[in-house]
Structure 1
Amino acid sequence: MDEATSKGDQARTEILNAARDLFIKNGYNGTSMRAIAQAAGGRAVGGLYNHFKTKEEIFSAIIEEQNPYDDLMAAITGTGEIDTAPDFIRAMLGRTLRVMPRHYDFFQITQIDLREFQGAHLQRVLETKLLPNVLRVISEISALPGLKPVDPLGLMRVVASVVLGYMATRTLLPTGIFDDRSEDAWIDLYTDMVLHGLADDTRAEKG
């Protein structure tokens, strides 16, 4: 890589980082190309157009290039050799619930995409990159013993809901609203609820 290319890549990264922070702070419509240029090292607005044709192209590049795909896939596949579906899910959720809150800023960007573009940019990433690989992992889980017959898409949505819900409550709600349990204890509680549900089956058996 020559020096010009290296500087170009650095400039692109600075622009994307500055734009991401401004989009989160001010919203998509509240962020101008001029503001992005200023936040990205006091650049001239014309310099942005050397890298991106429009503001939407910058926004799209953030979702395409700064999504947590690698960390997410490492979390859901790095469980090691596990013999049962419940143990796989427990290990997968344990890793994912520790990793994904670090990417809450990307979660905020996806909310902007849903509001402004009906999720079009995120959908491309999901359809071409994430969903095929996640469904493959879900199919592997379903083939292991210890899990009642479930719809793979349903299982995927349940896991996604748990992860997103954990991220939201961990980040948005005041710390004092919870008790003094550690993060590990909360993750164990979440995982137990997913694996064992909320219904008291013993009462039904007694009836």
Structure 2
Amino acid sequence: MYERSFTHGVKMPETVSKGDQSRREILEAAKHLFLTQGYNGTSMRMIAQAAGGRAVAGIYNHFPTKRALFEALIQEYNPYDTLLELMESGQGDTAPDYIRSVMIRVLGFMTGQYEFIGLVQIDLREFEGETISHLLQTVMPRALEMAQRVQSLPGMRPIETIVLLRLFASIVIGFVTTEHVIPTGLFDFWPREVWAEKLTELIIYGVAEEDSR
């Protein structure tokens, strides 16, 4: 399900210290093992071996526990800053135009973040979502502010801000998940960009005929 991609989505600086490089290698190895072997199926010794055959003690120099290592993965690989920047950079004088300009780009970006969704699923299974919940608490004020800005534009019927955010999250997570788990070929008669456009139109206009609303 998950391909080994140790550099995907990671912006490596041009020059890094030896300690930072070691830390990055440990995180990449742990991410791959957690996603393919499961959290409980991965030991610190396995991570040490996958991270260049280093000593287990070397991992503890960076992360005191396996849980701390996992929490660092959630923190450092989360896409929320980029996601919120995309959402805040929408264009349009009306709510429908703004949503349309944002959603197509967001869906394209989030399709490449499936590994992070896999980490979130591990957090839900192993820690009842505690790690991602703490992270979302720091993100939510900015997300609410963005949603309220959309609601202030003309062309949108009254809807609770939190409902709008949950709708947005449901569409994004559902789109990304079905991109990866649905059998190959089932959705291939339209390119991804067209699917994004069609789902965006459903967000804006719904599924009911105008006379039936």
Q: By the TM > 0.5 criterion, same fold? A: yes
Structure 2 residue 207 is matched with structure 1 residue 198: yes
Identify which of 122, 146, 156 aligns with 1:112: 122
Q: Which runs of 4+ in 1 moved over 3 A?
A: none
Larger helix percent: 1
Q: Displacement, 1:200?
A: 2.1
Structure 2 residue 66 is matched with structure 1 residue 55: yes
**2:118 partner amino acid:** Q
Distance in 2 between the 1:9 and 1:67 partners? 18
Instruction: Please name the residue that 2:10 is paired with.
Output: none
Which runs of 5 or more residues in structure 1 are unaligned?
none
Structure 2 residue 179 is matched with structure 1 residue 170: yes
Identify which of 103, 107, 132 aligns with 1:97: 107
Structure 2 residue 134 is matched with structure 1 residue 131: no
Q: TM-score, normalised by structure 1?
A: 0.92
**2:47 partner amino acid:** I
Identify which of 149, 163, 166 aligns with 1:154: 163
Instruction: Please name the residue that 2:19 is paired with.
Output: 8
Distance in 1 between the 2:188 and 2:111 partners? 19
Instruction: Please name the residue that 1:26 is paired with.
Output: 37
3-state SS of 2:35 partner: helix
Question: Identity of paired residues, percent?
Answer: 46
Q: TM-score, normalised by structure 2?
A: 0.90
Distance in 2 between the 1:50 and 1:86 partners? 51
Distance in 1 between the 2:145 and 2:126 partners? 31
Distance in 1 between the 2:190 and 2:41 partners? 39
**1:93 partner amino acid:** M
Which runs of 5 or more residues in structure 2 are unaligned?
1-15
Q: Displacement, 1:14?
A: 0.7
Identify which of 35, 43, 52 aligns with 1:41: 52
RMSD between aligned residues: 1.2
3-state SS of 2:185 partner: helix
Structure 2 residue 95 is matched with structure 1 residue 85: yes
**1:116 partner amino acid:** E
Instruction: Please name the residue that 2:85 is paired with.
Output: 74
The structure number with the bigger radius of gyration is 1
